[in-house]
Structure 1
C-alpha cells in the first residue's frame, strides 16, 4: 500500500488526528523532515501528500521551502491528492502561482468559527483551532471554500485541498504550541488562559468538526487501497 507522505517543518510535529485517522484506516504514513535534510519521496511511490504547518513564513528564503514548493506543484500536476495545512497552504499557494503575505488582520489564534464561502461547491464549516499571522493568496482558478470573520480559511484546486486552520492538532499539540508561544503572546497582551480553556472544551467534546473534515479527505483516497 502506498504511504501518505507527511511533510513536517518542526521537530516533534503533532501529526495528531491525521495520524490517528490514518491508523484507523490502516494507511501507512511516511514522515519527511526537509528542514533536517530529508529527501522528499518520489511521487510515484506515495498515495497522497500532507504539508503541515510550522513557524516559518512561506516567503522565507530557505532552499528546503523552495524545494517543497516545487514538490507540491509536481504533486498537483500529477494529480496526487494534497492536503495543505497552515504554512503548507501558503507554500501550496506560492507553488501554484499564488502568494503568501503577512496577514492584514494580524494574529488569529485559538478556536475560530469557519463558515462556507458564498457559492462554494463543498461545504467547509465548523469550529477549528487556528494559529497564524501569515495568509495565503490562492492561485488563479482556485475555488474559495470557507472563511472566518478575519481570513480566508479553505480553498481547493485540482487534486489539492488547503486550509489555514489546524484540523490535525490535538490538545497535546495545543499544549506544546502554547508552551513555546504562550509567554510571547502574554508579552503582547494576549490572554492565553481562555484560549487554552476553549481548546480543552473542544477536544473534550471530541473535536467533531476536525474529525469530520479529515475523514472526508481520507474518503477521497481510494487509490491508496491499490498495492504496489
Structure 2
C-alpha cells in the first residue's frame, strides 16, 4: 500500500488510535500539516485520507483550510476513502456543499452518548469523547448516521465518513487537551475533574466503541490501491 495521508491542524496532534490500528493492520501513515505549508500529496499516491480536528473554525479565513476543502472534494469525487473528524467533518461538509457554524446548543465536551439513526450502521453508536462548539449542516444527499442529544454526530456521503466526536483520541490526548483548555473550561463552570474521570474510565476499559468504529472503517479500505475504482 502507498499509505494513508493524515491531515493535522496543530503541533503534536494526537493521531492516537488511528495510528495504533493502522500499525496493527500494516498501513503506513503520512502526516501532512498544511498549516505549516506542507503540500498535500496526489490522490493517486494513497489509499485513504484522514482529516483531523483542531482549534481552528472551519469558516475561518485561512487559505490552507480552503485548500483542504478543495482536496477533500476531489478525494470524494475520486472515490478515495475519507475519514473526517471534528474540524475535519466541518471542512468536509463545506467542501461538499454543506456548511459549518457555531452550534446552537453550545459546547459539547467530554464523554457523550451517540445514538445511531434507525436503520443505519451501528458502529457509529456508543460512547465517545467530544470537544467542540461548532456544528454542521451536512451536504445534500448525505445520510445522517447518528446524533447526540445536542448535535448531528456522524454522516456519510459517497466514500467519506464524517464524525463530530473523537474516536482517535487517547487518554494522553485528553490530558494534553485539558492542560491547555482546562482552566478556561473551569472559568465557564465545566467540571473538568469529572470530565477527566469519565475519560479515564472509558480509556481504562479499552475505548471499545472507538476501536470498533475505527476497525470498521479500516475494514472498508481497499486491499490495495489498484482495487479502488
TM value normalised by structure 1:
0.97
Give the Cα–Cα distance (whole angstroms) in 2 for the partners of residues 29 and 136 of structure 1. 27
Give CA deviations for 1:16-72 in whole Å, capped at 9, x if unaligned: 000000000010000000000000011000100000000000000100000000000
Give the Cα–Cα distance (whole angstroms) in 1 for the partners of residues 6 and 20 of structure 2. 13
Change (3 A) 1:86 1:6: same
Does the 8 A contact of 1:97 with 1:140 survive in 2? Answer: yes
> 1:190: how far off?
1.0
Structure 1 unaligned segments of length 5 or more: list them: none
Structure 2 unaligned segments of length 5 or more: list them: none
Does the 8 A contact of 2:111 with 2:129 survive in 1? Answer: yes
Deviating 4+ runs (over 6 angstroms): none
Does the 8 A contact of 2:47 with 2:222 survive in 1? Answer: no
Does the 8 A contact of 2:46 with 2:225 survive in 1? Answer: no
RMSD of aligned Cα (Å):
1.1
Q: How many residues align?
A: 226
> 1:191: how far off?
1.1
> 1:217: how far off?
0.1
Could you say which residue in structure 1 is the equivalent of 2:157? 157
> 1:226: how far off?
5.4
Using the TM superposition, name which of 93-102 and 214-223 deviates more.
214-223
Give the Cα–Cα distance (whole angstroms) in 2 for the partners of residues 130 and 117 of structure 1. 19
Change (3 A) 1:58 1:149: same
Could you say which residue in structure 2 is the equivalent of 1:68? 68
TM value normalised by structure 2:
0.97
Does the 8 A contact of 2:3 with 2:27 survive in 1? Answer: yes
Change (3 A) 1:190 1:161: same
Using the TM superposition, name which of 208-217 and 180-189 deviates more.
180-189
> 1:117: how far off?
1.3
Could you say which residue in structure 2 is the equivalent of 1:102? 102
Give the Cα–Cα distance (whole angstroms) in 2 for the partners of residues 63 and 113 of structure 1. 35
Does the 8 A contact of 1:2 with 1:226 survive in 2? Answer: no
Any idea what SS the aligned residue of 2:186 has? Answer: helix
Matched, 1:17 2:17: yes
Give the Cα–Cα distance (whole angstroms) in 2 for the partners of residues 168 and 197 of structure 1. 18
